[in-house]
Amino acid sequence: MVAAAALNSRTGRKVLAGALIGFTVVVAFLVTPLIAVPFAIAGSAAGGTVKQVDAAPGVSGEWGFPLAGGYSKGRGFGYNPVQGCGYCSTDHQGYDMAQGCGATIFAAGHGEVITAGSYQGYGNTVRIDHGGEIVTLYGHMQWDSLRVSVGELVTAGAPLGAEGNTGKSFGCHLHFEVRKSGTAVAPEPFMAGLGLPLK
C-alpha cells in the first residue's frame, strides 16, 4: 500500500528511480571483475601480452643480430652452472640475451626455417638452416608468437616471434645457438667473425 502510494507522487517516483540507478551501478561494479578476470587469466596462461617490437636489428651483409637494440647478457657458451636450477645444463650450448618478455626476435641470417614450434627442452623454438651445414636456433619463445613456419625462406632481420620463458627456462630470454655440422659452436666468435660482436 505504501509503495503504491509512493509511486503516485512525483517525489516517490524520483526516489524510486534514484534507488534503481544506484542499485544498477552497484551491480555493474560487482559483476565487471567477474567478467574481466577470466579474460585476464586466459591472456596470462597464453604467455601474456606479446609486445612485438619491430625496430630493425643491426645487419652486416647477409647476417644480423637476433635482437634489435640493447639487451642484457645472460649465460654464455660453455661451462655455466645455474644456482638453484636443477634442470639447467652446466654445459651451455648457446648464448642467452634478453630485452624483456615479448621483445621481437629476428633471424640472424638468410635460410630455410626447419623448426617452428616445440623443440626438445627449448620450448617454442625456431631453427634456420643457412646452408653450408650452419643452423641457428632461437629458443624459449612465447607460445603463439611465431611469425614463420617450416619451409619458409627468411632473410637476416626477418621477425621470427617473441621472447618468452618456455621449455627449460628460468625467465624471459632468447637462447641463441649456432651449430656447424650438427655441433654447437660458441656464438660470440662466430658472430664477431661476421662483424656482429655480441656483448
pLDDT at residue 48 in the model: 41
Rounded to whole angstroms, the Cα distance separating 175 from 123 reads 10
For the segment 91-129, what is each residue's pLDDT rounded down to a tens digit?
A: 668 989 999 999 999 999 999 999 999 999 899 999 999
- Residue 180: the pLDDT is 97
* Distance between CA atoms of residues 154 and 73, nearest Å: 25
pLDDT at 41: 32
pLDDT of residue 169: 86
> Which tens digit of pLDDT belongs to each residue from 137-164?
999 999 999 999 999 999 999 999 999 9
Cα 136 to the chain's mean position, in Å?
Answer: 18
Classify burial at 48, counting beta carbons within 10 Å of its beta carbon; exposed 0-12, middle 13-18, buried 19 or more: middle
* Predicted confidence (pLDDT) at residue 173 exceeds the cutoff of 90: yes
Question: In 46-185, which ranges are continuous DSSP H helix?
Answer: none
Compute the distance between CA of residue 123 and CA of residue 126 in angstroms, rounded to an integer.
10
Return the higher-pLDDT residue of 83 and 27.
83
For 17, list phi and psi in degrees, rounded to 5.
-65, -45
pLDDT tier, 83 (very low <50, low <70, confident <90, very high otherwise):
low
Q: Give the closest residue to 117 by CA, choosing from 160, 157, 77.
A: 160
pLDDT at 181: 97
Q: What is the pLDDT of residue 55?
A: 65
Q: In the block, which residue shows the cell 649456432?
A: 178
Whether the per-residue pLDDT at 5 is higher than 90: the answer is no
- pLDDT value of position 44: 36
Instruction: Please state the φ and ψ torsions of residue 2, each to the nearest 5 degrees.
Output: -65, -40
Helix (H), strand (E) at residue 187: helix 187-192
Query: Per residue in 26-80, pLDDT tens?
Result: 545 554 444 333 333 333 333 444 444 456 677 777 999 999 999 998 877 666 6
Task: Give the separation between CA 103 and CA 99, rounded to whole angstroms.
Answer: 6
C-alpha grid cell, residue 76:
654464455
Computed from CA positions of residues 162, 183, 90, 188, in that sequence, does the dihedral angle turn out positive or negative?
negative
Contact 95, 81 (CB under 8 A): no
Question: How are beta strands 174-180 and 134-141 bridged, if at all?
Answer: antiparallel
